[in-house]
Amino acid sequence: MLSERDVSAQARHSHHEELPGLTGLRFVAAFSVLIAHAAAALLAVHETPLGVVYWLRQASGFGMTLFFVLSGFVIHYNYASLISRDGLRGVAAYLWARFARLYPLFLLTLLVNVLLSSRLFDLWNGHVEPFESTLRALPYFLVSIQSWFYAPIQGGSLITAVGGGSPLTWSISAEWFFYFAYPCMAWFILRRRRPGTAAALLALWCALWIALAAGLYDRSPAIDAWAVDRFGSIAGMQDHQQDSFVRWLLYFSPYLRMGEFVVGALVAQFYVQMRGRMVTELENFIGSCVMLAAALSVFYITYLMYDPDVGVNLFRKMNMNFGLAPPAAVLVFCAARYTGFGGRLLNARSAIALGEASYSIYLVHDVALLIAVRLSGQRPHSLAFDVVKLVGVIAIVLLVSRALYSFCETPSRKWLRQQWGDKRVVVALAAAPAVLALALAGVTYPFRL
């Protein structure tokens, strides 16, 4: 039987091999989202040669897909044996490890977003209605299910109802859906014990998910009409694209993004089956070339998905979910297995240090951008000034994120994992968000009437 105190540590080292290249790749994912949102917040008013700002704003699509594929790989690689070996006890240890990893910083940044939200300032000025939407949405956020449902709240969607930088946490909510679903799929994936079988299943999954994503895109007008009839005009794409039901279904909901997570888990199974085979110099060279080709294909597919002058194509139909999952999967596999030029960049000390702080970068950056916009005011500035401001904000985000990783994420995760041996403490801590959510739901119930 596993020692209760050491369950998480043993789970992390179930394959007895660290993969630092994946940590560096996490920074690539986080930085893709950061630069996209920074360009949208600070440079959107500027015309630039070749539409540089426009293309920077599209980088978040790759960043989110890479996050989800990496998540599937890491979860399967680290926890598959624990879950398959220890059954329900292993599942409980796995979920507690994820709670310790995600929830402390999530709760801290959620509090900061509520305090900095313009809705709170409206409340102080006597306008109660905007803050009512925050109170109504908070129960969903506290238990991280805000992306699981489509629910309009006072002229907006549930995901945006809290305000501040909290809409970004839709992906954390989607992750929790994946975490709960994963034990049900782990046994099936683990049965693919040959590399060829794992690779064939991976290809089949990609084909099926491409068909599903493209098929739903083709039916989006009918889905949009149904949503408007069911939820009202707020759910329609014509007037409220970001808050629409179709946008939620194809981009924010975990049900379509599940495809990327499963791809990552299947890549991890393929990697584990290949791990026993020594990497020759020839394979390492070929793998490095494939990694470069996958990286270049990201730019080409992004062009096909977002260029206004390119007509509707298969990749454009998947520009809200699965379009970049195949090259992301190749990048993850190559970063884990090969040590070429790309692998050396991802294994650099700075890349690993920033990759460790990628979760903080993701949760902190939107708040930093909101503060930067408010402090600089609405008066237009020169492109040079705004570029300097962008570089400065990015530097501050990276420094603050690294500090949060060292002084908040790591200590809180370590303390929570140490509580695993005390079942009463674990149950109380795990249940606390749900209890608080129920209490808030009871308080805000009159607002729904």
Domains of the chain by residue range: 4-448
**Which residues pair with residue 153 across a beta bridge?**
156
Contact 145, 96 (CB under 8 A): no
Under 8 Å CB-to-CB from 5, ≥6 apart: which residues?
418, 420, 421
Confidence of residue 431 (pLDDT cuts 50, 70, 90): very high
Taking the C-alpha atoms of residue 235 and residue 228, their distance in angstroms, rounded to an integer, is 5
User: Which residue reads 């990276």 in tokens?
Assistant: 398
pLDDT of 446 reads: 55
Two tokens at 107? 């709760």
| Segment 12-31, tens digit of pLDDT | 444 457 899 999 999 999 99
Question: What's the chain's average pLDDT?
Answer: 90
pTM of the predicted protein model: 0.93
Taking the C-alpha atoms of residue 76 and residue 67, their distance in angstroms, rounded to an integer, is 14
pLDDT of 16 reads: 55
Nearest alpha carbon to residue 323 among 147, 66, 71 = 66
| Segment 353-411, tens digit of pLDDT | 999 999 999 999 999 998 888 887 767 788 999 999 999 999 999 999 999 999 999 99
Question: 98 or 275: whose pLDDT is higher?
Answer: 98
Q: Which DSSP letter does residue 234 get?
A: G
Taking the C-alpha atoms of residue 359 and residue 402, their distance in angstroms, rounded to an integer, is 10
Cα separation values, 221 from 88, 207, 226, 302, Å: 43, 23, 9, 24
Taking the C-alpha atoms of residue 247 and residue 240, their distance in angstroms, rounded to an integer, is 10
Taking the C-alpha atoms of residue 150 and residue 159, their distance in angstroms, rounded to an integer, is 8
**Which residues pair with residue 156 across a beta bridge?**
153
| Segment 233-251, tens digit of pLDDT | 999 998 888 899 999 999 9
Taking the C-alpha atoms of residue 412 and residue 373, their distance in angstroms, rounded to an integer, is 31
Taking the C-alpha atoms of residue 189 and residue 446, their distance in angstroms, rounded to an integer, is 47
| Segment 213-230, tens digit of pLDDT | 999 999 999 999 999 999
